[in-house]
Structure 1
């Protein structure tokens, strides 16, 4: 029997700390500009009449310039900077490990707090110039049978500050400050890392508002994609609150198989899911939904399955990302043969659907789709890499660049 502790709640438990225990500093990196105005006013650090102006200054320093110390904010009075430092923080979490794949993919293991670790991956030559795959939870509750991340129990949701911090850390490493510098390497954000984003809707929505704000990181909402396994009741809210692009982790064309591959399907079967997708706010030929389909040998890769997929998504403005299965130690699944993947894609193409075959990226550092997992839940990285390299031997590569993480 395993027990999962929500450390975020324990850290703020009155019974442990006492009613008069000092509150931890608020991380301004996780506040939208309106939220920052309210926080500055309520703290008494900034008078009400100047709060909006001051919030915009701070927001630009944090998200446009990338500073991590209030002392660096040269257009803010020294006394105000000192008071800000007493009540708030803009510090980054700890980068425990940084790995770079032979294909240029970068992966960071980030420790948000003791026992709270996530992995974040940057994939070059994806989207316009490069995409960052961010996590929304520590672990996952969905238990998708083909996904390494799904074998790690949920610890807790990430806060908006912790989601945004993943982008900031990537920008630090890529030397992407200020945010308007020319020849940026990071153009797209994909919520395809650890966790189910729609089970953390509030924090994900705030993070997207912060990331897309033109005064800061300024990544367009049309370059931000949220991937879900199909939490149908939250689809409308996602579209209305975030205007983000939608991706669906599909992987099967009938309920019997999807119940096995994506157990959430038992709660929200395909008929409900497809109805929710068709009603997604803003869905159009200019804002297509992306269906993600992991190619599993002898499981879901037959020509009949391809034709069933065409029938399932008929009439929906969509493209289908075909994802060669990424091996991980202990899995029983195998990647489909390349000829099977190409035949599957050809059927979709003839039906009028773009179906790029996602280039496997970062496999040698377990940074590819479905391979992310906190270090605290892994066997030693060196042993995993040896197993992974053995499992993936002989798998072909491809030059398609449609993909995210």
Structure 2
């Protein structure tokens, strides 16, 4: 037990390798700025009987301990905030280690300060919860030491790789407009809001992010998006991608506040909770070839070219479909359905025109002899 309140402490070192079994109280020490501990994150989480100005660190050192700030624009922001005094490429670590919120963004306007190219030194902001460094010229962002971070805004930079695997407390991530091609969110299980639009990603795995309620992932190259396990999701913007499959059957569709999935030319079916409800409420936000279904099971829409030499071509088509059955000279009955199962046309001809139908997926059923074949037909 360590009960040290109401003193005049200027330094305190409790690094004994046994902090997890120690009770510590050190409030009302006006000159105590830093306590050296075994694990600063654990201490900040478990020991709250300290003054607001007192922080925990692996090694408080002495008052002359500095953190290097090589980017002059970044250091000038710290000077403007009163955390530093002169441009000398460094700042007192004790001046920044307790800061929990930092905005060094550079919005594009005539009064903006110079842009930041290097955020080296951010690792010493060990108490940081909120960081906005957007609208700069950053190419690298190392936040592996900022384990308490829960809100990160780093959009509109030139960041190519973003490692947030150590930021397990992250709840909000705004990283849009960066040339990032891959983003790993598997460790960010507390994430609630994600904006990764206008990047270069072709895959987005949010299967571990069950608290997500908002996703902006438009203007990427994503081909498949499965959100069926994200039951908290109520807002999705995934337009302008290369989606071929989209599953938002999460049991919460009726509580959605926003949905948009247009400009996905190869997206023909979206799995939803209720196709009728989705069609009534979301049809304005999808492309003309896209339909809603309770189950867009690939086995129901894959093109069938079976062992009996039953052929349909060209498929996809923008006009005629030719039906050909090798070694069969009898009559046929062909029926064309839309993806909801509505009969559109029936014929005995081996040629079927789709010229008057909109782009999308259709089901063609052909009966001949004692067989019935089904094939997906794609109108481009």
TM-score (structure 1 length as normaliser): 0.28
**Structure (1/2) with the larger helix percentage:** 1
**Structure (1/2) with the larger strand percentage:** 2
Query: Which one scores higher on RCO, CA 8 angstroms, separation ≥ 6?
Result: 1
**Structure exhibiting the larger radius of gyration computed from Cα positions:** 2
